[in-house]
């Protein structure tokens, strides 16, 4: 019998590529393969409808996979069994870490706190530059996991004085597990957050948003061409999801991974920043982060620092109040400044919180409200 704490010390190596080469401040649990040859358990899925001849149509994401009996959808974690749709990842995380909340990155959500991060196998996109491809592009039976129901996740998060965070792969494909866990967290007084690519349908997303406290969305590009060519997805559903999150009142932050020569042109960045300001407002934080060579793009050099600085300057010039750079500790763009007086109210170094001058949600110097969740 393996204890919960022993499991944390052995499971979860697949997710640690998220910020490759950046370890400052990370409470990352050592990884080794320890639970091989597990057989995934099947649990009833939600958000689908029956079709003739035992086929089903999944309504979880824009792909709307039509799945024949004994087949799976694009994500590889949801299976049609005799005309009933089942999820093969409910309660079965393959990555479990305790991270700084800044690693997500969430900069306006409880700075200096910790995230009890969990992930299952599977994704409904296939990004050529995926930093966590070894779990996102895997089937449930191809990874090590342990049965960990929602109540156990919440107890563990409390043990580490952390929020629960659904991250690393794509929480949309294990949304039933995320909803049930976030519900349990809300009941226990534990915060719950999500890191997602945002390629989901509105109604399932609205269901999980009832129990979430913050969401970070990876806005991977700002053209349909990029999403189709690089991610096997579409841009518009992601934008729709982002607007649903913003309208819900749940705290929202955006990340744009700058892939050299692919999604970092000036027209694209300007269009994205203008869309954010117009559709979401100037107070939604936007992070421009450094790409590290991974998955199918190992021959592409990391993002130059100058690109991140240029993107940040464009965002600020377009009137966004909080524009950050990421995955490069020490680069300009790690700190939070008051949108009125301009003084630095949160000082960071990598994933470390060094100073905070926000009192009751207001700038400690001039008293202006600084949007976010600070306590």
Query: Is residue 369 a part of any domain in this protein?
Result: no
Residue 7 has pLDDT above 50, yes or no: no
Helices vs strands, H then E, count in the chain: 9, 19
pLDDT at 283: 98
pLDDT in tens, 169-206: 999 999 999 999 999 999 999 999 999 999 999 999 99
For residues 227-237, average pLDDT:
98
Domain ranges, residue 72: 43-87
Reference 127, options 336, 297, 334, 366; nearest CA is: 297
Residue 338 has pLDDT above 90, yes or no: yes
3-state SS class at 100:
strand
* Model confidence band, residue 16 (pLDDT cutoffs 50, 70, 90): very low
- Indicate whether 71 and 209 sit together in one domain: no
Q: Report the number of distinct structural domains present in the chain.
A: 2
- Indicate whether 66 and 169 sit together in one domain: no
pLDDT at 39: 87
For residues 340-348, average pLDDT:
98
Cβ-contact 354, 344 below 8 angstroms: no
- Indicate whether 195 and 304 sit together in one domain: yes
- Indicate whether 8 and 60 sit together in one domain: no
Q: Which residue has the higher pLDDT, 5 or 51?
A: 51
For residues 132-161, average pLDDT:
96
* Cβ neighbours around 15 below 10 Å, total: 27
Residue 259 has pLDDT above 90, yes or no: yes
Residue 213 has pLDDT above 50, yes or no: yes
Residue that is written with structure tokens 């087949």 in the block: 71
Query: From CA 213, how far away is CA 182, in angstroms rounded?
Result: 9
- Indicate whether 258 and 280 sit together in one domain: yes
Query: Is residue 121 a part of any domain in this protein?
Result: yes
Q: What percent of the chain clears pLDDT 90, i.e. is strictly above it? A: 89
Query: Edge-to-edge strand order for the sheet containing 162-166?
Result: 95-100, 114-119, 162-166, 192-196, 214-218, 251-258, 286-290, 323-326
* Mean of the per-residue pLDDT values of the chain: 91
pLDDT at 284: 98
- Indicate whether 68 and 165 sit together in one domain: no
- DSSP letters along 330-372, please? TSTT-SEE-TTT--EEEEEETTEEEEE-EETTEETTT--B--S
Query: Is residue 308 a part of any domain in this protein?
Result: yes
Cα diameter, the chain = 67
Query: Is residue 373 a part of any domain in this protein?
Result: no
pLDDT at 37: 52
Query: Is residue 343 a part of any domain in this protein?
Result: no
Query: Is residue 357 a part of any domain in this protein?
Result: no
Residue 9 has pLDDT above 90, yes or no: no
- Indicate whether 54 and 188 sit together in one domain: no
- Indicate whether 161 and 293 sit together in one domain: yes
Residue 57 has pLDDT above 90, yes or no: yes
- DSSP letters along 302-325, please? PPPHHHHHHHHHHHHHTT-S-EEE
Token representation of residue 173: 């494909």
Residue 78 has pLDDT above 50, yes or no: yes
Last residue of some domain: 24, 59, 87? 87
- Indicate whether 116 and 82 sit together in one domain: no
pLDDT at 194: 98
For residues 97-116, average pLDDT:
98
Query: Is residue 375 a part of any domain in this protein?
Result: no
Cβ-contact 243, 209 below 8 angstroms: no
* Model confidence band, residue 367 (pLDDT cutoffs 50, 70, 90): very high
CATH number of domain containing 282: 3.20.20.70
pLDDT at 245: 98
* Cβ neighbours around 128 below 10 Å, total: 16
For residues 310-326, average pLDDT:
98
Question: What does the H/E/C string look like for 156-220?
Answer: HHHHCCEEEEECCCCHHHHHHHHHHHHHHHHHHCCCEEEEECCCCCHHHHHHHHCCCCEEEEECC
- Indicate whether 23 and 71 sit together in one domain: no
- Indicate whether 197 and 313 sit together in one domain: yes
Residue 6 has pLDDT above 50, yes or no: no
For residues 287-311, average pLDDT:
97
pTM: 0.91
Residue 12 has pLDDT above 80, yes or no: no
Query: Is residue 65 a part of any domain in this protein?
Result: yes
For residues 42-60, average pLDDT:
98
Q: What percent of the chain clears pLDDT 70, i.e. is strictly above it? A: 90
Q: Which residue has the higher pLDDT, 36 or 162?
A: 162
- Indicate whether 53 and 171 sit together in one domain: no
């Amino acid at each position: 019998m393996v204890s919960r704490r022993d499991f944390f010390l052995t499971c979860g190596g697949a997710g640690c590529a998220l910020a490759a080469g950046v370890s400052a401040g990370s409470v990352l649990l050592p990884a080794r393969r320890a639970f091989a040859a597990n057989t995934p358990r099947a649990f009833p899925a939600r958000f689908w409808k029956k079709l003739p001849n035992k086929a089903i149509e999944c309504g979880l994401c824009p792909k709307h996979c039509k799945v024949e009996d004994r087949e799976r959808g694009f994500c590889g974690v949801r299976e049609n069994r005799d005309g009933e749709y089942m999820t093969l990842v409910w309660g079965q995380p393959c990555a479990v870490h305790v991270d700084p909340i800044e690693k997500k990155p969430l900069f306006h959500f409880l700075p200096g706190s910790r995230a009890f991060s969990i992930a299952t196998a599977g994704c409904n996109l296939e990004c050529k530059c995926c930093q966590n491809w070894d779990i996102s592009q895997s089937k449930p039976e191809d990874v090590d996991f342990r049965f960990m129901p929602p109540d156990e996740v919440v107890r563990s998060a409390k043990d580490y004085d952390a929020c629960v965070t659904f991250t690393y792969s794509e929480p949309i494909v294990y949304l039933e597990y995320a909803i049930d866990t976030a519900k349990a967290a809300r009941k226990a007084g534990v915060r719950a957050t999500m890191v997602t690519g945002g390629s989901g349908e509105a109604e399932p997303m609205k269901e999980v948003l009832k129990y979430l406290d913050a969401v970070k969305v990876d806005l991977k590009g700002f053209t349909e061409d990029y999403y189709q060519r690089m991610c096997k997805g579409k841009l518009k559903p992601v934008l729709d999801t982002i607007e649903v999150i913003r309208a819900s009142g749940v705290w929202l932050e955006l990340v744009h991974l700058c892939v050299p020569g692919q999604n970092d042109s000036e027209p694209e960045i300007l269009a994205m920043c203008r869309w954010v300001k117009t559709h979401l407002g100037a107070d939604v934080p936007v992070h421009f982060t450094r790409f590290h060579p991974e998955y199918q793009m190992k021959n592409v050099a990391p993002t130059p620092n100058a690109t991140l600085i240029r993107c940040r300057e464009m965002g600020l010039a377009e009137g966004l109040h909080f524009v950050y750079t990421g995955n490069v500790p020490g680069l300009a763009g790690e700190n939070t400044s008051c949108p009125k007086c301009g003084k630095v109210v949160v000082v960071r170094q990598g994933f470390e919180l060094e100073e905070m001058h926000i009192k009751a949600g207001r700038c400690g110097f001039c008293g202006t409200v600084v949007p976010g969740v600070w306590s």
